[in-house]
Structure 1
């Protein structure tokens, strides 16, 4: 049976990781009778953009992208990170599947990436083995989402919680966790200081925090996976 041709892009700033990923993608192709992969590699946003532009100009397809979040920004500063690149791919190549592969294990960051990119695959490098990557690729190209255990743990924590924490609440919790002062928060959050304080009191009520300070609130929010 003739194999279906799949086009893949690996975007990671580490050449060794790129070569390892490419080797694993080739092994997936050898182990399956369904797919044959043509794989490009880039180490920065400039190179990735050129491949995206070429794909559009030639009216070809890019089936999936293995995307690191920490990519060197484009020289015009319009694409600052892997997340920006992912958003551009969503806009210009909406049928392209995205597999995020990152060493970031911050709950707040993971949540934001899920919300902004909604990737078909999400892998934390600390979870990653060659077998895990093979499974992710096989699943994603067959239209089945694949998240590694750290990401699944965060999602399960959120499902288990029976109250609603919106994006503003998360931002407040995050700013508290990194030591931001209340008087400075309106710089980063589109609310007045009084509104932020009111939300913080509500969060303490939700989490059943009795402490007048913020330490207990931060600890419980971290435990529940919100930061």
Structure 2
């Protein structure tokens, strides 16, 4: 079974409860935990350098900021970096976050192995998920979230839409976006087309301004 496990969770009670349960299931496993994404990445790097990498990483999506400066601020950012270092390890998101679009992003775009919702059935779902992940390449998601993921309209947001959102977040003007699109030989290149696409994205993400559009896109894990 899993021999080395990392838990990235900033709530002490949740982290301790999960660590205690995992220790009861895998008494010989080396189980580490941290409240911070930056520290989690350092632990992963150290494990790789020592040739004793984590074979299972469990992470929340949302981490509350405190007095310590953070370079990595979300679970999504952490997962992307960890997957580069541990391409063969299993990654489980353990979160109370129940936004379908954000779940879709981490499950499909980041290609995690399981998404378990914090709740009454968490331990039972963990038991099922861990057995599944260890014995096969199947993926697991909490049953009550499955329908949301399948029905989300996230697929309506294209790679080009994400590109525009990323440029908008960097403060690039619509005029300069148009120039960049011409350089990329995109079919829509003029400012009017860019404005139309951004207006559509505001409607899709329920945003009334460009600032709110960027904030909503970040909250949903789109950018």
TM-score normalised according to structure 1 size:
0.65
- Asked if 1:101 corresponds to 2:99, the answer is no
**Alpha-carbon separation, structure 1, partners of 2:42 and 2:93:** 20
Q: Which residue of 2 aligns with 1:92?
A: 85
Alpha-carbon RMSD: 3.8
Q: Describe how 1:161-200 pairs up with structure 2 within 5 A.
A: 165-167=156-158, 194-195=192-193, 198-199=196-197
Runs of 5+ consecutive residues of structure 1 not aligned to the other structure: 31-35, 175-183, 204-213, 219-226
For the residue of structure 1 that corresponds to 2:92, the secondary structure is strand
- The match for 2:124 among 126, 131, 137 is 131
**Alpha-carbon separation, structure 2, partners of 1:142 and 1:77:** 36
Q: Deviations over 1:58-110 (max 9, x none)?
A: 11121111101123579674322221111111111111211001111112212
Deviation at 1:139, TM superposition (A): 1.6
Q: Deviations over 1:162-213 (max 9, x none)?
A: xx62336977xx9xxxxxxxxx9x77xx67763256458989xxxxxxxxxx
Distance 1:73 1:97, change over 3 A: farther
For the residue of structure 1 that corresponds to 2:32, the secondary structure is strand
**Alpha-carbon separation, structure 2, partners of 1:151 and 1:45:** 25
Single out whichever of 55-64 and 123-132 deviates more from structure 2. Answer: 123-132
For the Cα contact (< 8 Å) 1:29–1:37, is it kept in 2? yes
For the Cα contact (< 8 Å) 1:65–1:97, is it kept in 2? yes
Deviation at 1:40, TM superposition (A): 0.6
Q: Which residue of 2 aligns with 1:33?
A: none
Deviation at 1:140, TM superposition (A): 1.8
Moved beyond 2 Å, runs of 4+: 26-30, 71-78, 126-129, 141-144, 166-171, 190-203
Q: Which residue of 1 aligns with 2:12?
A: 15
Distance 1:200 1:52, change over 3 A: closer
- Asked if 1:28 corresponds to 2:18, the answer is no
TM-score normalised according to structure 2 size:
0.66
**Alpha-carbon separation, structure 2, partners of 1:193 and 1:123:** 43
Q: Which residue of 1 aligns with 2:106?
A: 113
**Alpha-carbon separation, structure 1, partners of 2:140 and 2:191:** 40
**Alpha-carbon separation, structure 1, partners of 2:84 and 2:24:** 30
